[in-house]
Structure formats: C-alpha cells, structure tokens
Structure 1
Amino acid sequence: MMDTPTGHDHTDAFDHGLRNRRAVLGDAWVERSLAQANAFNADFQSLITRYAWHEIWGRPGLDPRTRRLLVLGMTIAQGRWEEFELHLRAAVAGGLALDEIKETLLQSAIYCGVPAANTAFKLAVDVLRQMGVSLEPRPLDPAHRVSQHRTFSTPELHVLRQGRGTPVVLSHALGMDVHMWDALARSLAEHGCEVLRYDHRGHGQSACPPGPYAMDDLVADAARVVREWGRGPVVWVGLSMGGMVGQGLAAGHPDLVRALVIANSTAWYPEAARASWAQRIATVQAQGLEAIAEMVMGRYFHEGFRAAHPEVEAAARATLLRTDPQGYVACCHAVSQVDWRKALPSIACPVLVIAGARDQGTPVAMAEAIVQARPGAKLVVLEEASHISVLEQPQAFEQAVREFLGSI
C-alpha cells in the first residue's frame, strides 16, 4: 500500500467500511462476525467491508436512513429473511421510526407481493417484541378502523373517518396533514365520538388547485366537508390554520358548528406579522420548503421538546417537506390575511381556546384577544407547549378537549 503523507488519515477502505458497518449494525454484531473470520472466509469478510460498507454505505448520495429502508425493501423482494431480520433489528436499534418501517413494508405488498409482505410483517412483529418494543392493540372495530374517501365536490379533499357517537372534526395546521391528529382521533373514537379529519387543499393527499387562496376558500371547503358527511352540527377542533377555518365556519355557517375549539391560533395578524408572512412566501417561492424547514420546526416545537422527542420533529419535518410548495404558499396567503375580529362576537356556540405558553407564532396574547372578543369563551394555557401543542402536550390537550366535550 502506498505510504500516506504525515498528518493525513492513515485509515484504508477496510477501516472506513468497518466504521460504517459498526454504525449501521452495531458493535456487538460486527464483533461476532469478525470473530468468526477464518482462513476460508476472511477474504469475503474483507471484500464486503471494503466494497459494501465503504464504497456503497459510505457514498454521500443517500442518507443512512434512506439506505436502511432500501435494504429492508430489497431483502423482502429477494426473500432474504435472515438479512431482513438483521437489518430490521439494526434499524430499530438505530432509532429509525416504526412508522417509516411500517410504510416500507406496506409498499412491499404492492411491489413484492402480499405473501412477501405478510412474512415481513410477521417477522417484524416477532423482532419488535423480542426487542421489547411495545405494540399496542389496534382492533379493527368501528372505534379503531379508519375509513378514507374523497369529497364528491371539488377541489377533492382527502378525508379520514373513525368511531361512532358525537361528530367531531379535527382540522390541521399549515404544513401538516391529517396524521397530526392520529393519537387524538383514536382516543376520541374510543370514547364515544365519530371523528372526521381531512387534508386542507394543497396539503397531504388533497387536491392542489392554483392559488393564492383566501380564508373564505378554506372555510367553504370545511362547510362542504361537513355537509357531505351529513352529521352536522359538529364539534370543530382546529389548530393554527385549522382554528382560523373554524372561526370562519362558526361565524358564517352556524348551523354546521355545535361547539368550537380554537387551538394555537389567532383571529388576525398585525402588520409586522403580515410582513413576516410575505417574506416566508418569497423564500418558499425562490428556494423551496427546505429553506424554511428549520425555522418552522423551531416555531412548532420548543428546544427542550425537540431534544427529547426527535422522532416527533422528524415526522413533522417530513410532512412539511412532502407538502406541495404551491399549496403551502397559496395557504400562506389565506393565513396571512385572516381577519375575524368583526365576526367573533357573532359566534353563538360554546368556544374553547387553547394556547401554548411557549408559542412564538400565535402567542398567548392572541388567544386572549379571541376570548375578549367572544364573551363566554374559555381559555386553557398549556405551560409546556409551543405551537403544535397536540403533539407536544398530547395528554393535556386531550384532557382540555374532552372536558369541553363533557360540558356541552
């Protein structure tokens, strides 16, 4: 081997590959594998370490998470179940989100066949249980089974529905989608509610008509969703943009709203805040959603939560980056121009306002302004929450909603 100049890295391809191999599969497994090297298989061990783990796993074109998911899908396709289990264990131990693993296995049902996916799910459940991962029961009864459809009217909106009982609509924040509500929807459905949630236009799996949108467009969407459902009047639970839509729906279509929860939202933005929205729109138009992702995550979640729950932030960031940039910008126009100050006093139904004490985007003062404009509205401030409070403080958020439901 050629001498390396003094002060340079003396590691060779094997050393680099071994480092990657340890990072992906863990020290214990690698040590066991290396300990089994002998005069017959040592050259093979060296080959895969240099070429697979250095030349391929060391390439910068894909991040390790993507490579892990690809390997899971490929081993399913080939039916190499010993490799599938090995990489599944390593992926879980390495912190890969179970939801991403599940989606990979679901994808394999289409491209590798249902029998292969069936084996993959069976082995995955066994591996997860062996690793001590708790898998909560999810019976396919009406409270747990989620049905999905699209609106008959246009633009088509993607709708999820589950449970039986009091009709509740959950309306998500800008840059999020229906899955922001997964845990709350499941719990409410288990406690006597029929829960509907939908992706706003330009978000998730809903259509993305040309923008910009006005808040009245989003309110009209909400009204047709409820009317097509045929279960109104409903309890509307909206967070951020969803809370703005709820205010417009309750004021403009009082026959459709039995009660209203406005979470981490506002009735209007002052001029300085509107200028900030204009800057955000310009940035996304010029550079894409990646350019604002870090700023948005910093507003959605406070630093302590981000450090303690990186998987929640990662999921929210992925949802944001999957959003159609044109739909995001079009909704930004609607949000930035919202003004329900004159409409608030006309809202006749019971109102609960939820705020996050650490919310920078819609601080407590904005929630207090809604309560002052709508006499009789109740305010709940969640101390350890910022903007997406249903994810940061799910138990406290649910308790506030359920107590409100009980009061009406």
Structure 2
Amino acid sequence: MSYDPIDHDFERGLNNRRSILGDAWVERSLSNANSFNADFQNLITRFAWNEIWGRPGLEQKTRRAIVLSITIALGRWEEFDLHVRAALLGDPSNRLTPDELKEVLIQSAIYAGVPAANTAFTHAMVILREVGPQIGYVLEPLAPATVAHPGIGLEGRSSGKPALHYTVRAPRNGKAPRHTVVLSHALGCDLTMWDELANLLAGDCRVITYDHRGHGSSEAPPGMYDMASLADDAAVLLRDLDTGPVVWVGLSMGGMVGQELTLRHPTLVSALVLANTTSSYPEAAREMWQQRIATVQAQGVETIGDAVMGRYFTEEFRGGHGATVARFRRRVVSTDAVGYVGCCHAVGNVDTTARLGAISVPTLVIAGELDQGTPIAMSQTLANGIPGAQLAVLKDASHLSCIEQPQAFCQAVRTFISNL
C-alpha cells in the first residue's frame, strides 16, 4: 500500500480558490497562516473550495452569484467585498460583468430585503470606483426616471395619427447597435408576442416593438384600414425614432406590413424577415375575411376566439400548452373590435404579389410546416418573387411559429441577421 504525501483534496481546493479569488489574495491568505488559524485555512480549502466549488453541477459564475446573494442576506460585508472584487477581476471564464453584478444585487432586494440590497450597492460602488479603470467601466451620472426595464424597453407613443405604442430596447452590451431591428406582430396580438426574441436580439441590437393601430395600447381609428396605411404608420414611427434603415421582422400581418413598407418607403428597410405571411389571398380566402368582419361586427371578437386559436396553434400545442393558448386567446378577444375589423380588412385585401420583384433587400421567408392560415405555398410565392430570398420551413409549427417553436424561430432569425 503506497502513501501519497500530496493531499489531493487540499490541492484541488487550493486550485479552485486561486481560480475564483486570484493568486494574489490566496498568497496573502496563505502567508498569514499561523499556528492558530492554519487548521481553519486547511478546512475551508478542502471543504468549501474542493467539496463545494469543485462540484461540476453549477457553473462558477453561478456559484459566484450564490455567494454574493448569501453574504448580502447575512450582512457578511467583509466576505461580500472580497467576492465582489474577485467577481469583477477574476478569470474571464467565470467573472461577472458590472451589469451581471447589478442584477444579483437587484434580485437580492426582493429575497433579502431592500436595506440589505442598499448596503450591497454602497459597498459595490466603492469597489467599482476602485477597479473600474482595470475593467474599462466608468460610473456615470444617470437619472433614475430615465431608465427602463431592460426586458421591456423604454416605452413611448409615435407622433402620427393614430398614435402607436412602442418600446425600444437598447443593446445590453453598451456598444453601438449592430442593427436596429423592428418586430411587427400578428393580427389580434400585441408587442408582447415578441418578448423572447426581442430580449435575445437586444444583446447587441437596438430592438423596437410596437402595437399596430387598433391593437394593444395604440389608437384605434374608425373605419376600414388598408395595408398602405399600416405601412405609413410604421414609417412615421421609424422616422420619429430616427432609426435609419432597419431589419424588419414581421409575422402574419406584420410581414404584410413589412412588404408594403419596403415598397413604399424603401430607404427605411435594410432587410426583411417575413414569417407566416402572404402577398395575397385567393378569392375564397378573401371571402372568409369578409365573413370574419361581419361576425365580429355583429357579435364581437369573443365569438371568434376559439376558431382563431385553432388556426394559430396546432392541436398538439393547444393540448400541451393550455396556459399559453389561453393568454393569446385573452389578447385576441380583448382587442378593440373597431381596430380588429379594420385590420381584418387590410389583411384580407393584401396584394403585393405583382410588386415583389421590386423588393431588393436581403429577405428571409419563414413558413410553418403545419400553418393553415398561410400555407407553405404562400411562403414559396414570396421566396420566388423576391430576388435572392431564402425560405426556411419550421417543423411542427402552425401560424404563430415564434411561439410554438421559439428556439427554431430565434435561430433562423439570428443566423439571418448575423450574415447581413
């Protein structure tokens, strides 16, 4: 039986300790060990840094956040300061950015209390002023009233009539936006339809979402609308926000608006994603839209709620995601009847097929394999008619493909945008 003089638990723990706290701090700690505290140093190195930090079940960044949260909750400010410095200056593979640190502190306000979070912010700002030059971070004055929830964006209303409700998410990386992306929703939905994709793209893009006229918090003027008016609404919004050319991502009605906007205001669009949409409907489908208008005018939007869900989602999805379907049904049936009818008229009479050849921007067409509202053949017409357009078909997706197959939808959009 051999005896290995190396204590592997201690050595592994020491290696983890160095990785998290840095060589300089660990060396100072070891050099200050003495006959009174050496046993304790050995204990925490083996137990905390090997037995806990050595477990691969969580990423080291996650464990950093846990330690910060617990030290805030317990008011262990000396330990908190140590781990804040280590988190900001640590190995690039496991360090926290100042924004990530901020999120840990904000969340601690809910679970550990506002006073604890307030103290944590005070301590963290002292350290940020100290180490900021090393990590390229500067604390700058910023009025609390001017900040917006990063997962929602800064809200506003366009200057046009009707006024459109919109949100703008700035790039979270703090740099100039790679692109400005506009996300345009489907009939009977609102800008919240895009929350997942919007927050994903806002990593390095400026992302604008908005409610079409007659939807959400936008105004609903009386009368029947046409696609040209919806496109002009969007043009006013983009000029208000001084966006320059945008990447337009539109689903269903949003894709129809994107086509018309590109044709009417070509300088405002640099690229198109047209999802689950069409350039025109056959006569039988146009008649269906007229019937829907008549039904809503006579009986209200509630009457068509179940039928719309049947077209928006597959039977399998409806069976397995009842809460999501119920949320979209509530949104549809609470849409202003005047606005819904007006947009039905615009959608039912969409007609850009003969003009598709005039669209000269890079275009991705996304179809749902099981979409009954805008079948693959309609997407093929778009892809064939727009020079150089790409076509992607999402498996097991019906009309609201970004909700049914969010990962596939997001991947298709991100890949397209990354190649622009």
Q: Contact 1:144/1:189 (CA < 8 Å) preserved in 2?
A: no
Determine the structure 2 residue equivalent to 1:173: 186
In 2, Cα distance between the equivalents of 1:297 and 1:144?
27
Letter paired with 1:262: L
Q: Closer, same or farther in 2 for the Cα pair 1:145/1:295, shift >3 Å?
A: closer
What SS is found at the alignment partner of 1:197?
A: strand
Determine the structure 2 residue equivalent to 1:158: 165
Alignment of 1:2-401 (within 5 A): 122=110, 143-144=150-151, 146-164=153-171, 165=177, 166-190=179-203, 192-401=204-413
What SS is found at the alignment partner of 1:261?
A: strand
> 4+ residue runs of structure 1 moved beyond 4 angstroms?
140-143
1:73-116 residue CA offsets vs partner (Å, 9 max, x unmatched): xxxxxxxxxxxxxxxxxxxxxxxxxxxxxxxxxxxxxxxxxxxx
Letter paired with 2:170: G
The structural deviation recorded for 1:228 is 0.8
Q: Closer, same or farther in 2 for the Cα pair 1:365/1:158, shift >3 Å?
A: same
1:364-397 residue CA offsets vs partner (Å, 9 max, x unmatched): 0000011111131000000110000010000000
What SS is found at the alignment partner of 2:281?
A: coil
Letter paired with 1:154: K
What SS is found at the alignment partner of 2:387?
A: coil
In 2, Cα distance between the equivalents of 1:142 and 1:343?
40
In 2, Cα distance between the equivalents of 1:145 and 1:283?
35
In 1, Cα distance between the equivalents of 2:370 and 2:152?
35
What SS is found at the alignment partner of 1:174?
A: coil
Q: Contact 1:347/1:374 (CA < 8 Å) preserved in 2?
A: yes
The structural deviation recorded for 1:232 is 1.6
What SS is found at the alignment partner of 1:260?
A: strand
Letter paired with 1:146: G
Larger Rg: 2
In 1, Cα distance between the equivalents of 2:211 and 2:387?
31
What SS is found at the alignment partner of 1:173?
A: coil
In 1, Cα distance between the equivalents of 2:299 and 2:148?
45
Gaps of 5+ in 2: 1-108, 114-146, 172-176
1:206-254 residue CA offsets vs partner (Å, 9 max, x unmatched): 0010110011110100111111111120000000000000001111111
The structural deviation recorded for 1:269 is 0.4
In 1, Cα distance between the equivalents of 2:365 and 2:214?
26
Please give the root-mean-square deviation of Cα atoms over the aligned residues, in Å.
1.8
Determine the structure 1 residue equivalent to 2:55: none
What SS is found at the alignment partner of 2:243?
A: coil
In 1, Cα distance between the equivalents of 2:190 and 2:152?
19
Q: Contact 1:244/1:267 (CA < 8 Å) preserved in 2?
A: yes
What SS is found at the alignment partner of 1:369?
A: helix
Q: Contact 1:199/1:205 (CA < 8 Å) preserved in 2?
A: yes
1:142-163 residue CA offsets vs partner (Å, 9 max, x unmatched): 8545110101222111011102
Letter paired with 2:191: V
Q: Contact 1:157/1:207 (CA < 8 Å) preserved in 2?
A: yes
1:288-322 residue CA offsets vs partner (Å, 9 max, x unmatched): 11111110000000010111111110110011111
Letter paired with 2:346: A
Identity %: 54
Q: Contact 1:157/1:199 (CA < 8 Å) preserved in 2?
A: yes
Letter paired with 1:180: M
Determine the structure 2 residue equivalent to 1:86: none
Letter paired with 2:183: L
TM-score, normalised via structure 2 length: 0.63
The structural deviation recorded for 1:141 is 7.9
Letter paired with 1:314: A
1:120-142 residue CA offsets vs partner (Å, 9 max, x unmatched): x958x9xxxxxxxxxxxxxx888
Letter paired with 1:268: S
Letter paired with 1:162: R
1:27-62 residue CA offsets vs partner (Å, 9 max, x unmatched): xxxxxxxxxxxxxxxxxxxxxxxxxxxxxxxxxxxx
Q: Contact 1:240/1:263 (CA < 8 Å) preserved in 2?
A: yes
Letter paired with 2:397: A
Q: Contact 1:145/1:162 (CA < 8 Å) preserved in 2?
A: yes
In 2, Cα distance between the equivalents of 1:149 and 1:375?
36
Letter paired with 2:415: E
Determine the structure 1 residue equivalent to 2:415: 403
What SS is found at the alignment partner of 1:342?
A: helix
Letter paired with 1:264: N
Q: Contact 1:355/1:382 (CA < 8 Å) preserved in 2?
A: yes
